[in-house]
Structure 1
Amino acid sequence: MTDEHRDVREFFTARAADWDTRFPDDAPAFEAAADSLSLRPGDAVLDAGCGTGRALPALRAAVGPRGTVLGVDLTPAMLESAVRAGRDREGTLLLADVARLPLGPEALDAVFGSGLISHLSRPGPDLAELARVVRPGGRLALFHPLGRAALAARHGRPVTDDDLRAERNLRPLLARSGWRLDTYTDEDEGYLALAVRTP
């Protein structure tokens, strides 16, 4: 395990037990972001860095009982919290690194990532790994229930020019990684970047 992975795991292990109670009003934002993927019944979708699985119910509703919902996270304590919340009934939970997914090429129709990009140790290669497992034309939703400025204010820091989530940084990063940025929204009420898997 790299130092970056160890840091991420330690950060989220310390917060896993009360993660959901700290953000009790986010469910509608997760549902709207999941809807943006335009999933169809029977589709296969991955929640990359699923944490406590807050997106899994919305993803399951979108793909129906015959669809496939996977939740992958690096932190065992977050997955344990997802199980305690009963979200393992909505999809299969896997302890894995999004940089090395245990999936074949083009196995998925879409990937959902809440708060994901700021925790990727190698954003370009990691986004390319997500592209590897998605069919051409499939979609990626990078989401956060708060926009960049609101999130920075919550943590008492300014928005910086090198923020990977800024459109001018994200668009070329995605393009180099097998994605085309389709729509981009960054408002106080939420952040959503939708990308399409290029052929």
Structure 2
Amino acid sequence: MTDDCTQVQDFFSARAAEWDRRFPDDGPAYAAAVRELGPRPGDAVLDAGCGTGRALPALRTAVGPGGTVLGADLTPAMLDAALRAGRETSGALLLADAARLPLRAGALDAVFAAGLISHLAHPLQGLSELARVVRPGGRLALFHPLGRAVLAARHGRALSDDDLRSEPRLTPLLTGAGWRLDTYADEDSRFLALAVRTG
């Protein structure tokens, strides 16, 4: 395991038990973002970096009983929190690095990724791996329940165009990874970039 992976695991392991209690009101924002991603009944979808699995129920509702829902996370403690919350009833939980997924190429119709991009050690590689496992024409949602300005203020930083989630940086990054940015919303109440798998 790389040092980058260990740092991510350490960060989230220390916060896993309290994660859902710290952010109790995010459920509707997750559900709305899943609706905008637009998975259909019968689709195969992945919540990449699923954490405690807050998107899994909305993904299950979207794809129905005939669809496939997977939640992958690098941190065992976060997956344990997802199990304690009963979210494994909405999808299968995998201990996996989003940059090295144990899935065949083109296996998925869509990927949902909440807060993931800022934790990828190598964003181009990570987004390319997400593209690998999605069929051409499939979709990606990069989501956060807070917009860039609010998140920067929370962390005591100035808003910067150097942020990976700024549109000028994100657009070419997605293009280089096999995605085309379709819609981009950066509001105080949410960040949501939707992309389509090219090729």
TM class by shorter chain equals over 0.9
Superposed, which structure 2 residues align to 1:78-157 within 5 Å? 78-157=78-157
1:27-53 CA distances to partner (integer Å, 9 max, x unpaired)?
A: 010000000111111000000000000
| Number of equivalent positions | 199
**Consecutive aligned runs of 4 or more in structure 1 exceeding 3 Å deviation:** none
CA displacement, residues 60-84 of structure 1 (integer Å, 9 cap, x when unaligned): 0000011000000000000000000
CA distance in 2: counterparts of 1:145 and 1:10, whole angstroms: 23
Deviates more, 1:31-40 or 1:178-187: 31-40
Amino acid at match of 1:188: D
**Which position in structure 2 is the counterpart of 1:63?**
63
Give distance in 2, aligned partners of 1:131 and 1:71.
16
How big is the shift at 1:87? 0.1
In 2, distance between residues paired with 1:70 and 1:148?
Answer: 27
Give the equivalent residue in structure 2 for 1:48: 48
The offset of 1:148, in angstroms, is 0.3
1:161 aligned residue: 161
How large is the Cα RMSD of the aligned pairs? 0.5
CA–CA distance in structure 2, aligned partners of residues 142 and 188 of structure 1? 15
Gaps of 5+ in 2: none
Kindly state the Cα deviation for residue 161 of structure 1 after the two structures are TM-superposed: 2.5
**Does the CA contact (< 8 Å) of 2:161 and 2:168 recur in 1?**
no
Q: Could you tell me which runs of 5 or more consecutive residues in structure 1 were left unpaired when the two chains were aligned.
A: none
**Offset at residue 19 of structure 1 (A):** 0.1
TM-score normalised to structure 1 length: 0.99
Q: 2:188 matched to 1:188?
A: yes
Give, as a single letter, the amino acid of the residue that structure 2 aligns with 1:151: L
Local SS of the residue matching 1:18: helix
Name the CA distance, whole Å, in 2 between partners of 1:38 and 1:146: 20
* Letter matched to residue 145 of structure 2: P
Task: Tell me how far 1:160 sits from its aligned partner.
Answer: 2.1
- How far has the Cα of 1:162 moved from its partner? 1.2
d(CA) in 1 for partners of 2:171 and 2:157?
24
What amino acid sits opposite 1:141 in the alignment?
A
Shift of 1:159: 1.5
Alpha-carbon distance in 1 for matches of 2:37, 2:189? 19
Q: Give percent identity, aligned residues only.
A: 72
